Amino acid sequence: MSQDEKKMTARDVSVGANTGQSPLTTVNSIADIGDFFNSDDEEIMREIEFDPRRLDPRYLETVSMPDLMDTVFVPRIPIIDGFLCPGTYLLAGAPKIGNSFLVMQIGYAIATGTPLWGMPVRKGSVLYLALEDEYARLQKRLSRMFGVDCAENLHFATHAKSMENGLMKQLEGFIQAHSDTKLIIIDTLQKVRGDDGDKYSYANDYRIIAGLKALSDAAPVAILIVHHTRKQDADDKFETISGTTGLLGSADGAFLLRKEKRTSPEASLDIVGRDQQDLRFKLLFRYDSCTFDLTETETELWKDPPEPLLDVVAALVNADAPYWEGTATELAERIGSELPANHLSRKLNVNASRLYSEHGVLCASKRTHEGRVIRLVIAQA
C-alpha cells in the first residue's frame, strides 16, 4: 500500500492544524482525499503517542460522545448503490446453482461501471480468485456471459495462498498495484481456509473473516467470499450457511442465493448487512448468457428523507468557487441557519458521507490557532 493510500486508510480523525499550505481547490484522487482528511497537527499526534496514561495497564482508551460527534470520518461510499458497500461479505448458496455466475456478473458490472439491475455502479478494478477453476474454463464462461467485450481492469487468478500462508500479503500487493480496486472475489472460502486442524471452530471462522475485514476496512474495498449452504433447513435462512455462526458474526453482511428447485431458472437473493437494509430480490437465470435478470424487488430500497441543510451547504461551492472555509458560526450566518453553531457542525459531521454521495462535496473539520473551522471542497468522482 502506497504512502498516499496509508494516509487515507489510517484511523479516521478530523483534519489537523493549519500548516500554511494552500488549500485544495478540488479533490479528484485517493491521495487528495487522504490529504484533505489526514491530520498533520504534530502537537496533537505527539500528545496521543506519548500519553503517559498508556503505560498504566489499567488504562482504557475511550472517546466521549462530544468528541465522537465533533469528528468527521472519511466517507464510505457504496460501490453499488443500495446493494454493495466496502466491507467483507459472504455469498452463500447450494453448490452448482449459479454462485460463481452471480459473482462474475457483479464483478464485470463493477469493472465496466455498468449499472447492475438498474442500480448505479462505481467503476474500479476487480480481482477474482477463481480457485476452483482453470483459465480455459474461465475463458469459456466469460465469452458466454459477455462475449469478447473485455474489461481491462477485471483480473483473475486460479491459485492463491491460504489465509495462514500469505493470502493477506497477496491481496495487499494487488491493491497496492491497482489503487482503484473496488472488489475482491474469493471463490471459494474452503480454498483459503488452510490446513489448521481446528479450522471449523467458531474461533477460527471468526478469525478468518475478521482478517479479511481488517483489509476491506483499511483499503477500503468490498471482499465477496463465495461459500456454500448446508442441506438442513432453518427458520432463519441465513442459519443454513455452512460452518459456525462465527462466519456471519464477523462479516459485514451476507448474500444468500436460493432456488426452490435446482432445475428451475427462478432464484431469490436475500441480503443482510451492517450498512444497508435487509433486501430480497427475485431473479431469473438466463441459460443463454448464464446471467441473472432482476424480475422483482420484494423490499424497496430505503431512501434517506430530504435534508435541506445539505442542499444549502453544498451550494456554497461550485466549479467557479470550489473551496470554502470558515467557522461554524460563520457558516450558520452564511446559510441563514438558526441552529447553534456546534449543533450545525455536528450535523454536518454525521451527514458527511451523504453530502459527498449526493452533492460531490467533501466536508472536514480543521483545528487552527483561532479555533475549529469547517472546510468544504468539490470532489471529482
Beta strand 323-326 with 371-379 is antiparallel
User: Is the distance from CB of 61 to CB of 49 less than 8 angstroms?
Assistant: no
SS3 breakdown of the chain: % helix, strand, coil, rounded to 5? Answer: 35, 25, 40
- Kindly list the strands in the beta sheet with 87-93, ordered across the sheet, starting from the edge strand earlier in the chain: 154-157, 125-130, 181-187, 222-228, 87-93, 253-258, 266-273, 279-286, 291-297
For residue 21, give the H/E element and its range. none
pLDDT at 195: 67
**How confident is the model at residue 244, as a pLDDT?**
74
Per-residue pLDDT, 28: 53
Q: What is the pLDDT of residue 50?
A: 63
Q: pLDDT at position 15, please?
A: 33
Burial of 210 (0-12, 13-18, 19+ CB in 10 A): middle
Residue 377 neighbours by CB distance under 10 Å: 22
Q: Quick one: pLDDT at residue 196?
A: 60
State residue 43's pLDDT score.
Answer: 45
Cell of 91: 455469498
Low-confidence stretches of the chain (pLDDT < 70) are 1-50, 195-199, 235-236, 301-302, 380-381
Query: What domains, with CATH codes, occur in the chain?
Result: 3-54+64-76+304-379 (no CATH), 87-297 (3.40.50.300)
The pLDDT assigned to 202 comes to 83
Alpha carbon separation from 173 to 127, 168, 184, 220, 262 (Å, rounded):
12, 8, 12, 14, 39
Decide: 193 and 201 in contact? Cβ < 8 Å. Answer: no
* H-helix or E-strand spanning residue 36: helix 30-37
